[in-house]
Amino acid sequence: MHGRVAVLLLFVIGSVLSASLNKGTTGFNRKRWLIHGRPWHGLTPAPPAVFNPNVSPVQVITQPIDHDGSVSGTFQQQYWYNKQWHKKGGPAFLILGGEGPENGQWTGNPNLEWTSIGIKLGAMFFDIEHRYYGNSMPYTSPTSEQLKFLSSRQALADMANFIKEMNKKFGPFDKWIVFGGSYSGNLAAWAREKYPDLVFGSVASSAPVQAEVDFYQYLEVVELAFREIDPKCADNIHQSFVKLAKLAKTSAGKTSIKTLFNVCQDLNTASPDDITQFWGSIIGNFMGVVQYGGDNAGPYRTEVTPQVVCQMMNNKNYDVLSRLANVNVWSMQNNGEECVDISYDNYIKYMKDPHADRSWTWQTCTEFGYYQTTDSKTAGPFFGDGNGAFMPIKLSVEECTQIFGTAYASSQEVNQAIKDTNKYYGGAKNIKTTRIVFPNGSHDPWHALGMLDQYSSESPAILINGTAHCADMYNDSPGDLPGLTKARNQIRKTVWGWFNQ
């Protein structure tokens, strides 16, 4: 969920989502990039929109900026609720917002996994926005000093205060079940771990609970997914990157690349950081389609998938390098780009302005890492990089310092922060709290940092073969893989079973 390039580039989001942003620009285009694994819409795509008049208008709760009391200010945190299916004595179901804005949409769709579970139990549904995202801002334009109150620990304290206040306002509720996906899946698991007196159980979908500086496994899963989906396509991807890497070694080759891949800048005069941006951009065309491909969420279901990319990579009317360029053209068209901007300076300028990407980058620098690299001995060469130079960890860590300053995010502090996070929460090996469900998709690159070993029948670790990021959270569909249907049923039965003890 980087670095300069490690910023991780985005993948194309599909033409139906891209018309409104940066049409025809030649500067930094947010839609192209996965910034530390985060697409422009946040790590968990919104569910299919369903108009439901029973969803409340936006509400606010007053929260302290610092639950530890070092400052005395407060801010207004947004939330939504839906009492439509609530029955007397029923539980409260809370979905935690992650690194993006919320709008209450999760509470109004009766066909989602969590609503289908809660409706049977007569639950009331709540959706709360994460501090420093959307409109839940302690500061309008937070400086690095003001960002220090952005952390998972503060967010969990927000949740605890929220539960207490909602018990006064609507309850009391005998049981709270907390849900989340991706980073907010971490929060869901940690909510049960750190606040067992308030949270009865949780479902932590696609939760990368192991913080890691060098997330080299990400691209290993991308490679594995393509090899499982279409071995011939995977071979063509590999061969195309080998040819591209060879071409990039000469001045004439770089000139050809600029034309073939429609790069804004001259690669022969580009800085090393710009070149890293280039590799991240081209590799990124293959990352997002794996991360979300097949999810029942907008274009990810059928339009932005590995299978669509493989149609281009297997097209025998073109040589393999031209096929790679065609995938890039597809991405450019969907993102509204005239050319691919690889300027690292443009990226840094973008990241110094307050917005959700800056907030998420702060959290990666001060808590999680998650820096996707080509350091893998298998996935690096798969993408034409034999020595980890295309997306190196060093540049990802240095980005923290360049954006936030040495006082907040030096290399030493970044590495220590990730160690502290794993020590505090337990990582993927030392969470032993009961009543937490850990669903993960085998094609989701983030599952490599998830809880994969089951330690209790009350806390199943469910690996869903062939599915992507947060796939279990969405509507059932006739085209769902059998493993996904089975997993959703297991999740439902597990949560329902908690209420029969």
| DSSP, residue by residue, 34-47 | -BTTB-TT-SSPPP
Catalytic member of 18, 469, 472, 480: 469
Considering the domain architecture, whether residues 221 and 165 belong to the same structural domain is answered as no
Considering the domain architecture, whether residues 220 and 348 belong to the same structural domain is answered as yes
The residue whose two tokens read 């997914």 is 225
> Is the dihedral angle over the CA atoms 393, 395, 399, 405 positive or is it negative?
positive
pLDDT for res 25: 38
* Residues 6 or more apart whose Cβ sits within 8 Å of residue 324: 237, 240, 241, 244, 282, 313
* Nearest partner of 54 among 119, 101, 99, judged by Cα: 119
Instruction: Tell me whether residue 444 is one of the annotated catalytic residues.
Output: yes
pLDDT for res 226: 98
> Is the dihedral angle over the CA atoms 335, 339, 341, 346 positive or is it negative?
negative
Provide the number of structural domains found in the chain. 2
pLDDT for res 306: 96
State the chain's mean pLDDT as an integer: 90
The pLDDT of residue 210 is above 90: yes
* Nearest partner of 444 among 300, 233, 240, judged by Cα: 300
pLDDT for res 386: 87
DSSP state of 30: G
Measured CA to CA, the distance from residue 363 to residue 56 in angstroms comes to: 30
Query: Which of 394, 418, 442 is a domain's end point?
Result: 418
Amino acid at 39: P
pLDDT for res 5: 32
For range 242-263, the mean pLDDT: 97
Considering the domain architecture, whether residues 272 and 391 belong to the same structural domain is answered as yes
Considering the domain architecture, whether residues 133 and 251 belong to the same structural domain is answered as no
- Per residue in 41-63, pLDDT (tens digit) is 566 777 877 889 999 999 999 99
| Residue environment code for 430-449, b if the CB has 16+ CB neighbours within 10 A, otherwise e | ebebebbbbbbbbbbbbbbb
* Nearest partner of 105 among 77, 78, 137, 75, judged by Cα: 78
Give the max Cα distance, the chain. Answer: 73
Measured CA to CA, the distance from residue 148 to residue 164 in angstroms comes to: 25
pLDDT for res 312: 98
Q: What is the CATH number of the domain that holds 382?
A: 1.20.120.980
Measured CA to CA, the distance from residue 430 to residue 26 in angstroms comes to: 47
- Per residue in 360-406, pLDDT (tens digit) is 999 999 999 999 999 999 999 999 998 889 999 998 899 999 999 88
pLDDT for res 334: 80
Contact between 390 and 381 (Cβ < 8 Å): no
pLDDT for res 191: 99
Instruction: Tell me whether residue 256 is one of the annotated catalytic residues.
Output: no
DSSP letters along 364-428, please? IIIIIEEEE-S--TTHHHHTT-SSS-SS-HHHHHHHHHHHH-HHHH-HHHHHHHHHHHHHHH-TT
Contact between 66 and 46 (Cβ < 8 Å): no
Q: What's phi and psi for 438, nearest 5 deg?
A: -120, 85
Q: What is the CATH number of the domain that holds 197?
A: 3.40.50.1820
State the CB neighbour count (10 A cutoff) for residue 326: 17
For range 446-457, the mean pLDDT: 94
The three-class DSSP label of residue 459 is: strand
In a domain, 139, yes or no: yes
Quote the domain boundaries for residue 92: 59-209+427-498
The residue whose two tokens read 């907040």 is 408
**Peptide bond preceding 306: is omega within 30 degrees of 0, i.e. cis?**
no
Considering the domain architecture, whether residues 205 and 306 belong to the same structural domain is answered as no
Q: What's phi and psi for 369, nearest 5 deg?
A: 75, -105
- Per residue in 218-230, pLDDT (tens digit) is 999 999 999 999 9
Measured CA to CA, the distance from residue 390 to residue 379 in angstroms comes to: 12
* Residues 6 or more apart whose Cβ sits within 8 Å of residue 51: 108
The pLDDT of residue 352 is above 90: no
Instruction: Tell me whether residue 238 is one of the annotated catalytic residues.
Output: no
For range 266-289, the mean pLDDT: 95
The residue whose two tokens read 């750190």 is 194
Catalytic member of 273, 444, 472, 480: 444
Considering the domain architecture, whether residues 160 and 228 belong to the same structural domain is answered as no
The pLDDT of residue 19 is above 60: no
> Using CB atoms within 10 A of its CB, is residue 101 exposed (0-12), middle (13-18) or buried (19+)?
middle
Query: Which of 401, 418, 435 is a domain's end point?
Result: 418
Catalytic member of 18, 136, 182, 205: 182
Angle formed at CA 477 by CA 203 and CA 223, multiple of 5 degrees: 70
Considering the domain architecture, whether residues 229 and 338 belong to the same structural domain is answered as yes
Q: Tokens for 208?
A: 């990368």
For range 216-241, the mean pLDDT: 98
In a domain, 44, yes or no: no
In a domain, 43, yes or no: no
The pLDDT of residue 132 is above 50: yes
pLDDT for res 436: 98
The residue whose two tokens read 């989906």 is 229
Considering the domain architecture, whether residues 347 and 295 belong to the same structural domain is answered as yes
pLDDT for res 42: 62
The residue whose two tokens read 């913080």 is 211
Measured CA to CA, the distance from residue 460 to residue 170 in angstroms comes to: 31
Considering the domain architecture, whether residues 220 and 362 belong to the same structural domain is answered as yes
Distance of CA 112 to the CA centre of its chain: 19
